[in-house]
Amino acid sequence: MTTIELTRFRVEPDRVADLLRARPAMLADFETDRAGFLGARLVRLPDDQWLDIVTWRSAEDFAASRAKGANLPGVAAFFAAIAELVSAEEGTEPDLPEN
């Protein structure tokens, strides 16, 4: 089953531009360095909060990515713009029956 990572975090208003500038390099680093990375969506929420929705091939791929942390410059720059982690959750996308 596909694993979904849901990470909610807060970014200070004066760091939003840094976060958005760092995003393409972070995604490029994930594409080249993180096995099982399938894609990500970034959502802006109220109160200086953001939600990153990341799709992984498996829970094992997600765990391996977590273990790497901010190991590459693009990932490190993105993480550096984050002021506070609000929540982090992991779930699975159900396999729906075909009609």
Reported as a single tens digit per residue, the pLDDT across 1-21 is 899 999 999 999 999 999 999
Q: Could you read off the pLDDT of 42-52 as tens digits, one per residue? A: 999 999 999 99
pLDDT for 96 equals 80
Cβ 48 vs Cβ 12: under 8 Å: yes
DSSP 80: H
Question: Structurally, what CATH architecture does the domain formed by 2-93 represent?
Answer: 2-Layer Sandwich (3.30)
Q: What is the pLDDT of residues 53-78, one digit of tens each?
A: 999 999 999 999 999 999 999 999 99
Domain residue ranges in the chain: 2-93
Predicted local confidence at residue 3, as pLDDT: 97
> What pLDDT digit, counting tens, does each position of 32-42 carry?
999 999 999 99
Q: In the structure encoding, which two tokens stand for residue 46, read together? A: 């109220």
DSSP for 34-47, please give it: -TTEEEEEEEE-ST
pLDDT reported for residue 95: 82
